[in-house]
Chain A
Amino acid sequence: MEIFLILGITAFLAIISFFIKNYKTLSLVNVLGHLAVLSIVAKLTADIYGNGASISMFNFFYADPLSIFFMLIIGIINTASIIYSVSYISNDLKENVISSAKANLYYVLFNALALATFLVVVVDNLGMLWIAIELTTLISALLVGFYNKKNSIEAAWKYIIICSVGITIALFGTILFYYAATLTGATSINWTNFIAIATKLDPQILKVAFLFIFVGYGTKAGIVPLHTWLPDAHSQAPTPISMLLSGVLLKTAIYAIIRFAIITNKSVGIQYSSNLFLLFGLLSLGIAAGFILVQKDIKRLLAYSSIEHIGIILIGLGFSGIGIYGALLHTVNHAITKSFMFLGAGNIVKKYKTGNMNIIRGVINLLPFTGTLFILGAFALGGTPPFSIFLSEFTILMAGFQNKSYLTCGLFLFFIAIIFGAIIHHFSKIIFGKEPADSKFRGDEPRLLTVKPEINPEHPNRGEDFFSAGSVSLMFLFIFLIAFGIIVPGFASKILLLTAEVIKQ
């Protein structure tokens, strides 16, 4: 029932966003709608983890702890992103970057994307899973190319072409999985059916099929060497969409890989998928480290950091055991921290009108609120305690040492040390450097509430408003960022454990 409500509300929002002409009403309806969705997801979470059961409807929808776990991430990031969109789009409207019809289109696409991503995690049918992921690619490609500038169209084209090839390979793998099932006499393509007959499936076919799945959905997840579209798309998209791409869409691809890995592990044994995960996880981490070190653009840096964190998640999954717990925790933490950082970066890029880190200086003076949170976020992203990413990286390392994979752990530590240094180096420069004296940076952020910002006569360039939608959204995410930092709260830990159980089965 709740599943219908969630899908229904997002579909309804997508349709109604066509027709509302008044921007204030439009944004209010959307924010309220997504808050409602988030609360329904929260209720569903409480239900499912309360009794540990799973929901199955019409042989089509299926939700177990793993689905709900990803649903929760989607709900949180969507909410943060829609709140931020309010101010982001209204700013664009004010500066005449886009027309009001295009603002409507933005909200329509945003909700269509939300619908598709929710669909990914609640369908039982693996063919439908493929379709939902393909839909997320198509819709988000339109959003990446939203501004119709040369750069964004180029990024969108690369994104849609490379991911379409990837997703086609994934369909090849899905068909092979189905073929393996038909050999045992089964005719259903549902995941629940696969899991029931998993031990009877031919391991040799599954090995090949899983390879196709891994390459296919791995393209969408941004695993090196299939990541080439990712920095372009993530940096060229409007900032709220960058948040979704990094926080949600990469995770849905990981979700699909996990679903297939569960089936494969039952038939082939865990070693096969583990080795794949570890190899490509380390590769992603290493390549990302190099690119982060030499990066000049702030959003591209964050995009490469997403590749790094996908690598870390894969390594956690590869270590298995407690590593899976770590990987899941890291999935949440990365989604929240990265969205948080994109949000901060979006504020900065809007203010300076450039993403070039050689030009951006003195953020702490011009945007004191964003600047403060941004430098905290940088430490969080690098993995310092007491922020949440430290805890999950530590858990993953612990799993590695338990497995006695010292070489992997050593490389892992080496790469994250490089990345930590690079991130702090880049971000301390832009936060604390001497601000540009140019008056073109004057101006304030668009507001959600009707409180006017006071312009400080001594610092006329300073313009930031604690009540802006951007700030609200930043605070919303910051709470989550801190919440998981010192210790994982009891209920969250239970969620993670139950989800890890599903993966280990």
Chain B
Amino acid sequence: MHINIFVVIIILTVFYMATVKRITSLINGFLVQSLFISLYVFSEGVLTKNMELYSVAFILFLLKVIVIPLTLRQLVKNIKADENAGLLISPVISLIFAAILAGFSYEFADKIMPLQGKHLIGAFSISLFITLVGMFLMIFRKKAISQIIGLLVMENGLFLLAAEAAGGLPFFIEITIFFDILVSVMILGVFVYRINSLFTHIDTNKLTRLKG
């Protein structure tokens, strides 16, 4: 991975998303992150003269910069959710967590994975870092919408990994995965509507009817 400005911005958005308190900011962070990931994939395509990466970048842009953020905004508006992203731990501790995850990802890529070349270590650790922070958001944010965004962040990490380490998955698969993500966001959205109308809130840590 040639460390360029795109990658730096992507990492900054990850830290930003780990610390914000409002759902709108979370969606915006996701939008900027996806924008720069698609730009990054595009620049990779230019550098390696790989036509498929152009189309991947374009679909990534269409889906994750335009369609999904719009859908999520509409969702927030329709269910009249309050702006709180539902932090279970404070922004400062979240930041420390994110930093630890970043360190862990780098160590993991450096020591455990037999990667060939410094640039791959960078690529792998950044992808792993994004995926882990996505998972972190899913665990430590209680609002259902925040969890959806966490899942999308995890997938962003995967795309970066696929584009960088493996030169992109086979094109057909990549497209089908995009389609799959769209479907899953739609279905998750349906469930958020239902949770909201049945429970009159979307705090998933209050979903405790089933136990034992």
Contacts and interface: CB of A to CB of B under 8 A. Distances in A.
Interface of A: 125, 127-128, 130-131, 134-135, 138, 141-142, 145, 148-151, 153-158, 160-161, 164-165, 168-169, 171-172, 175-176, 178-179, 182-183, 187-189, 202, 204-205, 208, 231-232, 235-236, 291, 294-297, 300
Nearest to A232: B210
B17 interface: no
B173 A175 contact: no
B91 to A, nearest CB: 23
Contact of B210 (A145, A236, A291, A296): A236
B207 A158 contact: yes
B194 A153 contact: yes
B162 A128 contact: no
Interface string B196-212: 00110000100101101
B124 to A, nearest CB: 9
Contacts of B155: 168
Nearest to A148: B194
B114 A127 contact: no
A125 B198 contact: no
Interface in B130-150: 131, 134-135, 138, 144, 147
B195 interface: yes
Contacts of A294: 212
Contact of B188 (A158, A160, A291): A160
B169 interface: yes
Contacts of A178: 162, 166, 169
Interface of B: 112-114, 116, 131, 134-135, 138, 144, 147, 151, 154-155, 157-158, 161-162, 165-167, 169-170, 173, 176-177, 180, 183-184, 187-188, 190-191, 194-195, 198-199, 204, 207, 209-210, 212
A134 to B, nearest CB: 6
Q: Which of the listed residues A164, A176, A297 has the most CB atoms from chain B within 10 Å of its own CB?
A: A164
Contacts of A232: 210
Nearest to B115: A205
27 contacts: A127-B177, A131-B180, A134-B180, A138-B183, A142-B187, A142-B190, A150-B198, A150-B199, A150-B209, A151-B209, A154-B210, A157-B191, A157-B195, A157-B204, A158-B207, A160-B187, A161-B147, A164-B188, A165-B135, A172-B161, A175-B169, A178-B162, A178-B169, A182-B166, A188-B170, A189-B169, A189-B170
A202 B167 contact: no
A165 B166 contact: no
Nearest to A154: B207
Nearest to B187: A138
Contacts of A168: 131, 134, 151, 154-155, 158
B176 A128 contact: yes
A202 B116 CA distance: 11
Given A127-B169, A175-B165, A296-B212, A165 B176 contact: no
A479 B124 CA distance: 52
Nearest to B135: A165
Question: Which 6 A-B pairs have CB atoms at the shortest separation, nearest pair first?
Answer: A127-B173, A154-B207, A204-B114, A232-B210, A179-B166, A179-B165
Contacts of A169: 131
Contacts of B131: 168-169, 172
A154 B195 CA distance: 8
A295 B212 contact: yes
A62 B134 CA distance: 34
Contacts of A128: 173, 176
Contacts of B157: 172
Contact of A182 (B138, B144, B167): B167
A147 to B, nearest CB: 11
Contacts of A164: 151, 184, 188
Contacts of A157: 144, 191, 195, 204, 207
Contacts of A176: 165
A131 B166 contact: no
A148 B116 contact: no
A148 to B, nearest CB: 6
Contacts of A205: 113-114
A160 B147 CA distance: 11
A218 to B, nearest CB: 15
A155 B147 contact: no
Contacts of A127: 169-170, 173, 176-177
Contacts of A291: 212
Given A128-B176, A151-B210, A183-B116, A145 B199 contact: no
A212 B131 CA distance: 12
Nearest to A204: B114
A175 B162 contact: yes
A211 B195 CA distance: 34
Contacts of A150: 198-199, 209
A275 B13 CA distance: 39
B191 A145 contact: yes
Given A175-B162, A300-B212, A165 B138 contact: yes
